[in-house]
Amino acid sequence: MMKLEGALYPWRFRLVLVLLALMTGAIVWRIVDLQVIDHDFLQGQGDARSVRHIPIPAHRGLITDRNGEPLAVSTPVTTLWANGKELQAGRSQWPALAAALGQESKTFAQRLEQNAKREFMYLVRGLTPEQGQAVLDLKVPGVYAIEEFRRFYPAGEVTAHVVGFTDIDDHGREGVELAFDDWLGGVPGKRQVLKDRRGRLIKDVQVAQNAKAGKALALSIDLRLQYLAHRELRNALTEFGAKAGSLVMLDVQTGEVLAMVNHPTYNPNNRRNLQPAMMRNRAMIDVFEPGSTVKPFTISAALQTGRWKPTDKVDVYPGTLQIGKYTIRDVSKNEGVLDLTGILIKSSNVGVSKIAFDIGAESVYSLMQQVGLGQDTGLGFPGERVGNLPNHRIWPKAETATLAYGYGLSVTAIQLAHAYATLANDGRSLPLTMTRADSRGAAGAQAIPEDVAITVQGMLQQVVEAPGGVFRAKVPAYHVAGKSGTARKATVGSKGYTQNAYRSLFAGFAPVNNPRIAMVVVIDEPSTGAYYGGLISAPVFGKVMAGALRLMNIAPDNLPPVVAPVAPQAVAQTPGKGGRT
């Protein structure tokens, strides 16, 4: 008689029972652990499959001018997106959806077919809330909305180059919007929601993190002055058939940029047909040889050495100066001798070259460097160029002469304006700023000795007001100082200059008795025949300066003397004969 196998090996049976008991105990323990002790695990796993965080867009900071006028504001818009898989269930509604979105039905259907397997695709961005709600009211399955913000620029093309613009994701891409993107952008928030396995919203749970709005930014720009400069520069370009132009206006006493305009310009609210050349902030990006506008700084360098006095004279006859194969020529036919003021009035290349030969190019170079020519302005503006102020270990005569009258170096309009603001501020160089400054008389580095700067201010006043001066830059009731310049345009990609291509310049400040505004006008390639800075740029300077001085309520310093009226002498008459007593 055979025995059962279990009876033969009882330990095996017990082992199986023990293993089953252990496994059962482990399962029971795990159930208790997950359900009672460590219940956060299951909750986390469930949340991972259903809880989502939707970004809450941050409101971008407001940009205003110095007086609080808005230059860039954010408006709420609706962005529509779709789940391509869910959209396939509502094919019959595609034509209505395309019509509501303003898109061609066949092209729209092809796009949806191409994205049938995608769970996310943009339908359209930047709709007004009313337009977005109209589409949502169609109740097309798979169509959802996101709240976003879109930037709007009230001043349009007038401030385009300064303010810049943002991209479709509301990130700064040009101008102040890019330079101060971190300041303006803010921090997006998060909203916790529940979604089912198809991605459909079930419940809006809570705000997990509040959005932090961007900070407001007040620029130093005065929108009134910006409009004025924009209008006059545009009119000048039209009148003289010019290719482009720039105007920069600075507050002498604070270093603030009051106005900065360029033409051609563009509308940042509608960039569909935008050309890259229109986006260039020429006042900060275009470099050029400043020509005669730097002669006042050569004269300043001469006075600073102590070797020269304003009354010293230079023989400029016959208006030419030969240096090897190079001939320096004066535009005006000067005969005899000129003092330092006369050299500036007549804009004598020969006279200023002889002065530079006497004091050495190092003195001229050092002063130009001190006033900021060919140097970084510190504004931090995107794409700003530094230009070039050449320096030689040994200065040849030709390079010394060209430096003295504004060739062989390259500057920007903002640098030239900064140099004139330094001269107008009694030689003190203040750091430039694009944001509003609350204090005047800020400390600055003394770039030019005060007595020298004041002397040259008087000389530049004579350049405008003396007989034969640049009378087109005059401003009624104000004393104005300045210097015109005309520079040939260098050939791109090769040595030499382009035939019949010039830049017309005028740089100056006012009022002379207490300078407040420094300004530079650059007009590129006027084509109507005239091209001298005194004929083309000086009138723009005069018109804009006149308006700016009045808008800023700056007291005149050149009013005619008031003649006190003479009181009529009373005549006594005898009573009774028709007279009065």
Query: Are 327 and 320 spatial neighbours (Cβ–Cβ below 8 Å)?
Result: yes
Give me the pLDDT at residue 272, please: 83
Which pLDDT band holds residue 37 (cuts at 50, 70, 90)? Answer: confident
Give me the pLDDT at residue 208, please: 67
Whether 83 and 61 share a structural domain? yes
CATH number of the domain bearing residue 209: 3.90.1310.10
Which tens digits make up the pLDDT trace of 102-129? Answer: 889 888 888 888 888 887 788 888 888 8
Give me the pLDDT at residue 187, please: 82
SS3 99: helix
Give me the pLDDT at residue 21, please: 86
Distance, CA of 427 to chain centre: 26
How many structural domains comprise the chain?
2
Whether 424 and 492 share a structural domain? yes
DSSP string, 320-363: EEEETTEEEE-SS---SEEEHHHHHHHT-HHHHHHHHHHH-HHH
Worst-scoring range by mean pLDDT, 204-218, 231-245, 299-313? 204-218
Note if the bond before 568 is cis, omega within 30 degrees: no
Nearest-angstrom CA–CA distance, 309 and 302 = 8
Give me the pLDDT at residue 550, please: 96
Q: Is residue 417 part of a domain?
A: yes
329 strand-pairing partners: 320
Compute the average pLDDT of residues 136-163.
90
Closest CA to 247 of 573, 466, 554, 536: 536
Pairing of strands 217-218, 63-64: parallel
Q: Is the pLDDT of residue 256 over 50?
A: yes
Query: Are 250 and 258 spatial neighbours (Cβ–Cβ below 8 Å)?
Result: yes
Compute the average pLDDT of residues 464-485.
95
With tokens 């010019």, the residue in question is: 242
Give me the pLDDT at residue 1, please: 47
With a pLDDT cut of 70, the percent of the chain lying above it is 88
Q: Which of 413-422, 465-474, 489-498 has the highest mean pLDDT?
A: 413-422
Q: Is residue 565 part of a domain?
A: no
Whether 396 and 511 share a structural domain? yes
Q: Is the pLDDT of residue 13 over 90?
A: no
Give me the pLDDT at residue 480, please: 98
Whether 384 and 442 share a structural domain? yes
CATH number of the domain bearing residue 237: 3.40.710.10
Nearest-angstrom CA–CA distance, 344 and 557 = 23
Whether 174 and 321 share a structural domain? no
Domain residue limits at 71: 54-89+105-218
Whether 515 and 493 share a structural domain? yes
**298-309 burial string, b = 16+ CB within 10 Å, else e?**
bbbbbbbeeebe
Task: Look up the pTM and report it.
Answer: 0.83
The radius of gyration of the chain from alpha carbons, rounded to an integer in Å, stands at: 37
Whether 519 and 455 share a structural domain? yes
Q: Is the pLDDT of residue 442 over 70?
A: no
Q: Is residue 413 part of a domain?
A: yes
Nearest-angstrom CA–CA distance, 102 and 184 = 33
Q: List phi, psi (to 5°) of 432.
A: -80, 155
Whether 398 and 431 share a structural domain? yes
Residue type, 326: Y
Please indicate whether residue 450 or residue 528 has the higher confidence score (pLDDT): 450
SS3 393: coil
Worst-scoring range by mean pLDDT, 103-117, 141-155, 358-372, 559-573? 559-573
| Assigned token pair, 352 | 């200023």
435 strand-pairing partners: 219
Give me the pLDDT at residue 172, please: 92
Q: Is residue 479 part of a domain?
A: yes
The catalytic residue positions are 292
Whether 320 and 196 share a structural domain? no
Give me the pLDDT at residue 578, please: 43
Element (H, E) at 492: none
Q: Is the pLDDT of residue 57 over 70?
A: yes
Q: Is residue 448 part of a domain?
A: yes
Please indicate whether residue 89 or residue 44 has the higher confidence score (pLDDT): 89
With a pLDDT cut of 90, the percent of the chain lying above it is 58
**Average pLDDT of the chain to the nearest whole number:** 87
CA separation, residue 265 to residues 206, 243, 277, 517, 532 (Å):
46, 12, 9, 24, 24
Give me the pLDDT at residue 336, please: 83
Query: Are 421 and 252 spatial neighbours (Cβ–Cβ below 8 Å)?
Result: yes
Q: Is residue 406 part of a domain?
A: yes
Whether 68 and 133 share a structural domain? yes
Worst-scoring range by mean pLDDT, 87-96, 307-316, 358-367? 87-96
DSSP string, 500-540: EEEEEEEEEEE-TTS--EEEEEEEE---SS---HHHHHHHH
Worst-scoring range by mean pLDDT, 140-149, 187-196, 292-301, 465-474? 187-196
Query: Are 499 and 362 spatial neighbours (Cβ–Cβ below 8 Å)?
Result: no
Looking at residue 64, the DSSP 8-state letter turns out to be E
Whether 187 and 237 share a structural domain? no
Give me the pLDDT at residue 576, please: 47
CA separation, residue 251 to residues 11, 131, 437, 492 (Å):
102, 46, 10, 34
Compute the average pLDDT of residues 231-260.
96
Give me the pLDDT at residue 168, please: 84
Whether 231 and 160 share a structural domain? no
SS3 content of the chain, % helix, strand, coil (to 5): 40, 25, 40
Alpha-carbon dihedral 191, 192, 196, 202, rounded to 10 degrees = -70
Which tens digits make up the pLDDT trace of 165-220? Answer: 999 888 999 999 999 999 998 887 776 666 665 555 555 556 667 778 899 999 99
SS3 37: helix
Compute the average pLDDT of residues 271-298.
93
Give me the pLDDT at residue 158, please: 97
Give me the pLDDT at residue 388, please: 95
Q: Is residue 574 part of a domain?
A: no
Q: Is residue 36 part of a domain?
A: no
Which pLDDT band holds residue 495 (cuts at 50, 70, 90)? Answer: confident
Sign of CA dihedral 26, 28, 32, 38: positive
